[in-house]
Structure 1
Amino acid sequence: MEITNVSEYENVAKQKLPKMVFDYYASGAEDQWTLQENRNAFSRILFRPRILIDVSKIDMTTTVLGFKISMPIMIAPTAMQKMAHPEGEYATARAASAAGTIMTLSSWATSSVEEVASTGPGIRFFQLYVYKDRNVVAQLVRRAEKAGFKAIALTVDTPRLGRREADIKNRFVLPPFLTLKNFEGLDLGKMDQANDSGLASYVAGQIDRTLSWKDVKWLQTITSLPILVKGVLTAEDTRLAVQSGAAGIIVSNHGARQLDYVPATISALEEVVKAAQGRVPVFLDGGVRRGTDVFKALALGASGIFIGRPVVYSLAAEGEVGVRKVLQMLREEFEMTMTLSGCRSLKEITREHITADWDTPRTHPRALPRL
Structure 2
Amino acid sequence: MKFSTKAIHVGQSADPATGATVIPIHLSTTFTQEGIGVHRGFEYQRSGNPTRAALEECLASLEADGARGLAFASGLAATATALSILKPGDHVVAGEDLYGGTYRLFEKVWRPLGVSFAYVDGRDPSAFHAALTSRTRLVWLETPTNPLLRLADIAAIGEIAAAAGAWLIVDNTFATPYLQRPLELGAHAVLHSTTKYIGGHSDVVGGALVTREADLYDAWKFHQNAAGGVLGPFEAWLTLRGLKTLALRMEGHCRNALHVAEYLQGHARASKVIYPGLSSHPQHELARRQMSGRFGGMVTFEMEGGIAAVNSFVKRLNLFSFAESLGGVESLACYPDAMTHGSIPEAERRRRGISEGLVRLSVGIENGEDLVADLEQALG
- TM-score category of the 2 structures, normalised to the smaller one: under 0.3
TM normalised by structure 1 equals: 0.25
What TM-score do you get using the length of structure 2 for normalisation?
Answer: 0.24
The higher relative CO (CA closer than 8 Å, separation ≥ 6) is in: 1
